[in-house]
Structures are given as structure tokens and as C-alpha cells.
A and B are shown apart, each in its own frame.
Chain A
Amino acid sequence: MSAREAPAATSAASPPERKRTLVATDKLTKYFPVERGFFRRAGKYLRAVEDVSIRVRRAETLGLVGESGCGKSTLGRLVLRLMDPTFGRVLFDGKDLVPLSQGELRPLRRRMQIIFQDPYSSLNPRMTVREVVGEAIRVFSLAKGKSEEEGMIADLLKKVGLRPEHMSRYPHEFSGGQRQRIGIARALAVKPDFIVCDEPISALDVSIQAQIVNLLVELQEQMGLSYLFISHDLKVVEHVSHRVAVMYLGRIVEQATRESLYARSRHPYTRALLAAAPVPDPEKKRLRVLLEGDIPSPIDPPSGCSFHPRCPRAIRGTCDKETPPLDEVEPGHRVACYNPHEV
């Protein structure tokens, strides 16, 4: 094993540029009040994101994996401050975004962008591609005059694998994969440093998914982009990420480099997620870790470790009492579990 690890260690320590943190969260927490009753008093809270500290380095992808309702999209929006957190800090290039006013945020907004899941609903159907992509350029006055703007749009379209002639067309004239390319061109228009990719390929067909994944990876390598790549699909995340965080019911339960996570996952939930994904190999008889039950409600999360009711390794009297801390089990590999798997 150590022989195989050696080259990975050197590649992780590659250019110093990549080591610097661009985006970090510090104990980030978001509760949504659940309104009920005649006076709409907030009786309870939905704990969407709880005590999350993550870090995205320059030119690096942090994969964020979890099932629906685990809070991964909320986290993505908090990081961009499209939403205000209940507690915690969001540091972008060293600056805390949380206390900033909208006016103060504006220059930073140019540097962070988002790509959405559904390429059908995230583009305005009444705007041509030129208008969709050009809008951001105009908002930030990035072009001097019409012709420079046209040139920039044409370059962006070429960069994402579309043709400049596509400029005067409307979104409905494109397939799902092409629309996602338009969404990427729009995000790139302002020359961002950081992009939140929120399930960017889950609405696409298999053969198109691979095209978009490759495009995102190529653009990152060309432009030194940092991604927070949100997905429910561990296989895709493995292909795009340098580091991976696994989320369950609002909390990060495991966080590691890609290689460490896929080769030596410790958290029973990560193991279950890995085992649950169907493998396209009919000869492979796998040991299935079938998780019983559903994901509990984040309004009334279970006591202690919120995974304990479904966990095959839960220890009674421990796991149901206190939330396990996210502890480092080897350099760069953290696990929130009282009874993690051994490797």
C-alpha cells in the first residue's frame, strides 16, 4: 500500500499556488424556522447545516456528497452568501463575507459563480444566448463597447464547446447538455475564481455527463478555477475532486483527500453510500451494506450522532447520546464517528 501512496503524496504537495485556501467556512450553521400555528410563531427549526467547516483551495475541487435533504445545496448557497447563515463565518480570500453589506459584496460576487442542476429552468427562456452570457459582462462592465462584448461571448462559447453562431439562439433550441454548457459560459463570463457546481450533471444523460465532467476539469486546469462540486453521486465526485466531504443531515461526517476517502473510508455512512451505488459489472458479486430505513427529518434529528438509527455499527449508550466530533484519524482525513471502520 505504501508504495502506491508514494506518488500521490508528491502530487498533493505540487505547486504552492494550489495549497492556498480560497474559500473556507468556520462552524457554519443554518437553521430555518418552521412556521406553524395562527401567529406563525417559529416553533421549531429545521437544521439544514450545522457546524460545518470546510476549505476549498486554489485550483482545487472539493467534492461535497450526500443524499437529498442533507443540506449540501444550502451549504453551497451559504458559501456564496446567497443566504445568510445563522452562525459561523464564510471566508473568501481571507475576508469574512457574513458581515458585508450587499454593496460591499458586489465586487466579490464577480469572483464567485454558481452552475445549477437543471439546465432547463436556470436559463431565461426569453433571452438569447448572447443576452444570457452578455448580461454578466455588462453588469460588471467587463467589456468596452459592443464589439468587444461580442468577441468575449464568442470566445466563451468556443471555450465551452459551442459555436459563436449559437449566440442568437434561444435556450429551447438546445439539448440539455448544450444548455448546461451555456450555463457554464455564463458563469465563466465574469472570470471567476470560484464556482459552486450544484449537481451540474444529474439532469443529463450518461454520455453527456462525461462530456460536461471533462469540460469542467479542463476549464479548471486552464483557468486555475476552484470548485465546490456538489453531487449525490460518489462515482462522479471521485473523477472531479481533489478532496471530498461527505454530508449527512446537515453535518460533515467524513472528509479526506480523494484517494484516502475511496481507498480507506472510515465512516459507516460513507461505506454504505459507496456500497449502494450499482456497479456496471454483472460478474461482480458485492457485499451489500443495505441501510435500513429513511433519512430522518432534519426538523427533529435523532439524538447524538444523527446517523445512529440506521448505523450497523452504532454503540448503544454512546452514539445516541452525544454528537461525535470530526476528528483527524490520519493526516488530512477526518471522521465524525465513535466506532469508525478500521483500515
Chain B
Amino acid sequence: MWYDRTHVGTPLLRVEELVTTFHTDRGVVRAVDRVSFDLEESQTIGIVGESGCGKSVTALSLMRLVAIPPGRIESGRVLLDGKNLLELPEREMRAIRGNSISMIFQEPMTSLNPVYTVGTQIVEAIRMHQDKSRREARVHAVEMLRLVGIPSPESNVEAYPHQLSGGMRQRVMIAMALACEPKVLVADKPTTALDVTIQAQILELLRKLQQKLKMAVVLITHDLGVVAEVAETVVVMYAGRVVERGSVREIFARPRHPYTRGLLDSIPKPGVVKGARRRLPTIEGVVPDLHALPPGCAFAERCRLAEDRCRQEDPALEAVAPPSAHVSRCFRWRDL
């Protein structure tokens, strides 16, 4: 199942030069601007960045769930097992969505249907892709609820979403997303709406299920702490573009883009404040308006290292530690 890779040599998921635009009253914005990354089975890639950086639109584009209009996937390829999802007719895409590539969302309350029991919703997801009777699908649904750690799954399969806590609803979402054993799970901020102790439970659950199912995970988050804990690779996005990409170890040890550096510095580290309180390092300024991006590097106006060249020319992604895949979109990465 997992090993019948048709295109030997290509990764399980390859995103190539993906461009997604939004057509608004004020003009066209490139929410996702030539984003590329590869992902192998059993691996997790973390896509991080602040609100509006394009990370969620990237996730939706992989699933082809961007609302059209105002959105539009302009160009690029999303290759799952060598097959370009962006070229498939919607009918074929529907057979893949929720089956080989699945998604979970930030707010489980709004992504579950309040008027159906969780069992009905999981059964629907299963029967959409698998030739199972209602009864068989129901048995499978109970199995999935047990797998994700819902207590007494036989009775909770009859529960309505509002009867469950936030953490339990997120488990139901995961059960539904994983019911057809997808090869790729796209998780869009799966724990931001949850408390820390519940977040720890959900991350642990995802890690266990990933090992068991050899699933690849695309994790969208703004929390670098979560990335450090669960991902092998990280993509840092700013104003729609990838500004740095590489292994988590390399990027956390030696960030080669001033934005990544700033993000890492601005996280309060626990248990470090001795004596008087200290100022937290910050990134001054705000994220630029996508409608009016500056001509050069989009980060230049907030960057301490910016020089004239940065404001005029647009830097390309550059390998910073060959032969590793660590790349940075910065003229001055050597000065970090």
C-alpha cells in the first residue's frame, strides 16, 4: 500500500513553484508566491510564519480547497506520488481528498457539522471512499475513535460535537481525517485552539499515529516550539514566499534568514529569567501589505541587516550549507 510508489526517486509529496492569488477590490495579491518543498513518507514538514504569510493558503491549495473566486491557483504543481493534483478534474480530486490526502483544521467546532453525531460524520467520510456497508463503516468509525483515544467509543460514537470538549472534538477530526489511512495529512494549526496540556496530548497522538500509518504530515503553525518538537523539516514563510527552508536541526541551530532569527529570538524561553526581568528581543514593525509589496526583499523594512541592495533587488533562495538542502532568501545570510 505504502510502498507502491509509481515514480521511484520522486518524493511522496512534491510542491513545485506553487502560486495562489486572490482577486480583491484593491487588485490581485499573491498569497502564495512560488512555494516549493518535498516531503517523504513518515516525515513531518512544519510551515511557519505569521498571520497573512500564506501558510494556510498553501495548505488549502494542496487540498484544492481554495475558494474560487476570489482565490485562484495560478501555476505550479502539487505532485502526490508523481500525480499532479492541480491538473485533475474535480471528480478525481474528490476521490483523493479525504482518501490519500486529508486535512484537519484549527477549530474543530466549526469544521464538524453540529446537527449530526460524530459517528454519522465519520461513517460518511469512510463510505465516500471505501466500499463498505453502513454497518461495516460504523464498526470502523468506533475503531477510529478508539485509536484516537476517545473514552468509551461505542457510546461516544453517538455524541454530537457540542457534547464533547475541544480536545475531544479535535480527536474526532483526526479520527475522521485518518479513517481512510491517508498518505499525507495536512494539519492547519491543529492545536492553537487548545490548552497546553491538551495540545501536548494531541501532538503525542499525531506522532504515534504517524508512526503507525507511515503518514507524511504537513503541519501549519505559528508556534516554532511545536515545530521543534514534531517536524524534521521546516519552511519559513513571509509575505507569501519561502524565506528559509531546511532541516529543523540546522535552522534552529543556525538560522540563515534574519526573519527566522527574529522569530526564534522573540519566543520567551521557559525557566531562563534570572534576576531582573529583561526585554524580549523583537522584530520591529509589521508584516507588509501584500497589495503594496516593496520592490526588493519583502522583509527589508523590518530587517536590521538591510542595505540598499535589499531594498532594490529581490533575493533568490540560495543554498547556505551545501550539500544540505538548507536554503535562505537573503543577500546577507553570511552576516548572521
Contact = CB atoms under 8 A, between A and B. Distances in A.
A280 B252 contact: yes
A210 to B, nearest CB: 4
A281 B199 contact: no
For A4, A208, A277, A278, which residue has the most chain B Cβ atoms within 10 angstroms?
A278
B282 A263 contact: no
Nearest to A215: B282
Interface of A is mostly: helix
B195 A68 contact: yes
A214 B248 contact: no
Interface stretch (A127-135, A185-193, A290-298, A330-338): A290-298
B225 A277 contact: yes
Interface stretch (B75-83, B91-99, B273-281): B273-281
B225 A294 contact: no
Contacts of B226: 278
A187 B217 CA distance: 44
Interface stretch (B2-10, B27-35, B173-181, B264-272): B264-272
B262 interface: yes
Given A206-B222, A211-B282, A235-B267, A282 B248 contact: yes
Given A234-B270, A239-B280, A277-B196, A282 B275 contact: no
Interface residues of A, number: 52
Nearest to A275: B200
Contacts of A4: 274
Interface string B239-270: 00000000011001100000000111011111
Contacts of A206: 50, 222-224, 263, 266-267
Contact of A210 (B225, B277, B281): B281
Nearest to A207: B283
Nearest to A212: B282
Interface in B147-201: 165-168, 195-201
A213 B270 contact: no
A280 B264 contact: yes
Contacts of B307: none
A292 B248 CA distance: 29
17 contacts: A11-B276, A205-B50, A206-B223, A214-B279, A214-B280, A233-B268, A238-B271, A238-B272, A278-B203, A278-B223, A279-B228, A279-B229, A280-B252, A281-B228, A283-B252, A288-B200, A294-B165
What 10 A-B pairs have minimum CB-CB distances, sorted nearest first?
A278-B225, A67-B195, A205-B50, A210-B266, A207-B283, A210-B280, A235-B268, A276-B200, A210-B282, A276-B196
